[in-house]
Chains A and B, each alone.
Chain A
Amino acid sequence: MTGRPLYVGIDLGTTNSAVAVFDGESTQVVRNAQGSPLTPSVVRIDAKGRVTVGSAARRFLDRDPENTRSEFKRLMGTERPLPFRASGRELTPPELAAEILKALRGDVRDQLGSLPTAAVISVPALFELPQSAATAEAARLAGFDKVELLPEPIASALAAGWTAEHGDGRWLVYDLGGGTFDVSLLETDGGFLRVVGHDGDNFLGGRDVDWAIVDWATAMIEREHGVKIRRDNPEHAAATAQLKHAAEEAKVALSRANEAVLTMPAPLEIAGHGAFDPELVLGRATLEELLAPLVDRSLEVCRRLLADHHTDPGQLARIVFVGGPTVTPLLRARVAQVLGAPVADGLDPMTLVAQGAAIHAATSALDGRGAGPLVRRGARLWLQFPAVCTDLSPHVVGRVVEGGSGPMPERIHLVRDDGGFTSEVTTLDAEHAFVVAVELVSRHANTFTIVAQDAAGAVLAVDPPTVTIVQGMTIGDPPLSRSIGVALASDQVQVYFERGTPLPARRSFTHVTVESVARASADSVLKIPIVQGEHDRAHLCRLVGTLEIPGHAIARTLPAGSDIELTIELDRGGRMSARALVPALDQVFEHVAHLLVPAADTEVLAASLATLRKRVDDLRADAFRRGMAQVLGTLEHAEHELAEVARDLGAALGGNDDAGQRARRNLLEIDAALDEVEQSKQWPELEQRAVRTLTWAGGQIAYLGTDRERALFEDIARAIDGARQERNVRDLQRQLRLANQLGETAWYRDPDTWPALFDAASSRIDAATDLPKAQALVREGRAANGRNDYAELRRITEKLWKLLPHDPSAQRQSYDSGVR
């Protein structure tokens, strides 16, 4: 492996994709064979099975839609294959994405002479686990050995931060993609970059502008030709697609000209009206009118984010624009004017994400050149150091793992290749390890020679002989976008990772089975559903995978009340793996099933839409009765979003799968928002619970707690007050749980507690899942109680709890979870 490193970053976009490389000091956007930095995310397969990608395929999008596919990124994570009629082939969304990635990989080879084996691929901030898994699968199919996924806002922030010469301060990344809007508030402090907060609107994107132009065009056509083109009419799908394509081109043309003609490649064909060629001229003023409500919606999200983080728009050091639609001068001017902050110059909104991903590849030491030929010389060192870091004085930590043929090194020091720095000489410890502090030159790739010496001071050869550390802006570990946990049979969630947890992460908990699994039974299966979301109730979160323990795979029947030690692990890209150890069977289960986004059936979507509309009406009537003005605002917003869903549903009925998936996702979001409205109705009840909890836990801690617990309780009580003042339902619920846990810790010290808990559990054993075992435990417990053996009584009571029944209706709701 020679020359400069090859760090590859890929923006796998809905409409266009881009690839950039970073060599340790600067980024370079790789151009494709057509000389463009952007490759349309379009795949075509002709009758002979030949695959074409990019702009060559895009030309066929209107002419040959049955053999040309685009916007499949929105279908990532679904199992639905997309047919190519002429060749008879069917490709899944990851297979289609792999074709794009292969093309980009080839472009890197053509331009830089090396076919990359590793890359960082950006994904939307709110991608669900199945979608991330599908993206990683696409990378594998494209021939990448190693891949990391990075949220798009973090990638663009990193690229903008890397090139920034500005001082400390807060800034905004305004990212308007084809179908979504993301905004991130960032802070630079002493060279360190931090994501302060993130917000967005899944219903807002450049495509909304395109559709607004299409609606304007169809209105003009109806007025001038008397032809009504409907987006939800499958017979008008080809005409609609032509208009949409023309709208996209006109929008781009208007960033340079004052007016643009909507040019169709062929006359529009409408059943009953024949073919006709409308003449449509779109002016800048009309586009501005169409654009204004959409930009205002995005500004509303920006203001909300700034308010959440106590930042005045005037305090912003700059705004960074990301995404194709932000190229529109009208949009940039309006955003800058309303927020009153300067726009960062010199950044390409179309390739910023790919550049950030490439920089992140360096941070993760993902050198795309792969492993070179193995040439070993001298003692082998296992080294750990940051490939890229902000700190000017990082550590190089190492360990001699193989002495080679000569003597073992005794002392080590590092010399910077420019001669400007030599580290202290460090003596290797008993583990043959060393920790050396080095000093970096700012914004450079710093190479250090490792000088190893034996006891006599003779210099020894070591492998590797050098280390290189790039100094520049970095960002912390990527944060998890949504909390992940296990759905319990009670419909509650055992949270494994809270939102914001730095990745990678791993956690283990012990669960208890609520039903038995019969050995060799085909029907008997224990399900451990893994969910993602911020809700207390499992059924409100999204099912992202199920770990199953089937009857046919177990060594013997597993009784209810058995322990399951579950470990969930997330890598830096948010990909999940789970492992369940069943001590009673001495078996491990690792297969996570159904890691897929559910299909978007249009009938189901239509029914859900009708249900949610009725729910909005009911909640509005109730809110009027109670005079809850804040709730009315939320409901108005939900109603607006439901109208958007109805539009997507119309497009889905016209055969657009992508619109169907968007509708499904957004219905879930609206459902969750309405749940929050309902929760807020229960605020008085929650307040009562807060009073009860504070009184109960406070009493236990005052009576039985330690000084430390009393101090902790005061802290939690303050947090409860804060959540009550802000009327923050989720935070209040979380703080109340903490207060209860603390109260319980004290309460369990009371010698009277366990006899009482034992009595309570004994009174319910008629319903136990294993009655003979429960009866035996009750006998043991009585004996333990009789001799005042509270430790034993506690052990028995805990066993009894595991045998007590669960609520079947809650279990059904909770994705049939078999654990608690």
Chain B
Amino acid sequence: MNAVERWAGNPFFVLELAVTASRAEVERAGQKWLAMLELGLARAAIYTTPLGVRARTPELVRTAMAELRDPERRAGHEPWCLLQEPASVIDPPESTASEGEPGFDAMGPLQWSRR
């Protein structure tokens, strides 16, 4: 998952909560979405982000709950939830050229010579 997709998976978006949500509200919302997903309810299947609509899955909900339970990790998500810029066009590649140091290794000997 690239960094932009990680942003689309912001736990506040997934759980449809405001950044001011209390710990109890996090648990309540997570429990509700997991229950609705288990029952296959259509309104639980998607959520909206500034990057567009995304699919909501039980894994995503559980991860979101775990992220917001930890105060330090929660603090890392709060600023991103507040940003509401229009969606940018992101088109990541199907696979990277290299598994070593992407970007540098992809072009082999060319690396820096082009730029």
Residues of A within 8 A of B (CB): 189-190, 192, 194, 382, 384-386, 389-395, 397-399, 431, 433, 435, 476-477, 479, 488, 490, 492, 500-502, 504-507, 510, 512, 689, 692-693, 696-697, 699-700, 706-709, 711-712, 716, 737-738, 740-745, 747-749, 752, 756-757, 759-761, 763-764, 794, 797-798, 801-802, 820
Interchain CB contact under 8 A, A756 and B114: yes
Interface secondary structure of A, over-half rule: mixed
* Chain B residues, Cβ within 8 Å of A477: 62, 65-66
**Bound complex: CA A489 to CA B104 (Å):** 20
Q: Check A707–B85 contact: CB distance below 8 A.
A: yes
Report A692 CB to chain B, min CB distance, Å.
7
> A752 contacts which chain B residues (CB < 8 A)?
114
Contacting residue for B106 out of A194, A744, A749, CB 8 A: A744
- 13 example contacts (A-B, Cβ-Cβ < 8 A) are as follows A389-B31, A392-B24, A433-B39, A490-B99, A507-B59, A692-B104, A699-B115, A706-B90, A744-B92, A745-B92, A748-B91, A759-B110, A760-B97
Contact with A along B4-28 (1 / 0, CB 8 A): 1001000000000000001110011
Whether the pair B63, A502 counts as a contact (CB closer than 8 A) is: yes
Taking a contact as CB atoms closer than 8 A, the residue among B2, B27, B66, B99 that contacts A741 in the complex is B2
B63 near A190 (CB under 8 angstroms)? Answer: no
Beyond A389-B31, A506-B59, A798-B94, whether A399 also contacts B39 by CB under 8 A is yes
Closest CB in chain B relative to A765 CB, distance in Å:
13
How many Å lie between the Cα of A510 and that of B96 in the bound state? Answer: 12
The answer for the CA separation of A510 and B62 in the assembled complex, in Å, is: 23
A802–B2 Cα distance when bound, in Å, is 21
A391 touches B93 (CB 8 A): no
B contact residues around A512 at 8 Å (CB): 95
- Contact between A708 and B7, CB atoms less than 8 A apart: yes
B52 at interface, CB cutoff 8 A: no
From 62 to 115 in chain B, residues with beta carbon under 8 angstroms from any chain A beta carbon are 62-63, 65-66, 69-70, 83, 85, 88-97, 99-104, 106-110, 112, 114-115
Task: Give 17 new A-B contacts, CB below 8 A, not counting A391-B27, A479-B66, A689-B101.
Answer: A189-B23, A391-B24, A397-B32, A398-B39, A502-B63, A502-B66, A504-B59, A693-B101, A693-B104, A697-B103, A699-B115, A709-B4, A740-B104, A747-B103, A757-B107, A760-B107, A801-B95
Cβ–Cβ contact A384 & B38, under 8 A: yes
**What's the Cα separation between A764 and B106 when bound, in Å?**
12
Question: Which A residues lie within 8 Å of B28 (CB)?
Answer: 391, 393-395
Interchain CA distance A313-B51 in the complex, whole Å: 45
CB of A748 within 8 A of CB of B35, answer no
Question: Chain B residues near A756 (CB, 8 Å)?
Answer: 107, 110, 114
A192 touching B23 by the CB < 8 A rule? yes
User: Are B39 and A384 in contact, CB atoms less than 8 angstroms apart?
Assistant: yes
CA of A390 to CA of B24, assembled, Å: 8
Is A194 a contact of B32 with CB atoms below 8 Å? no
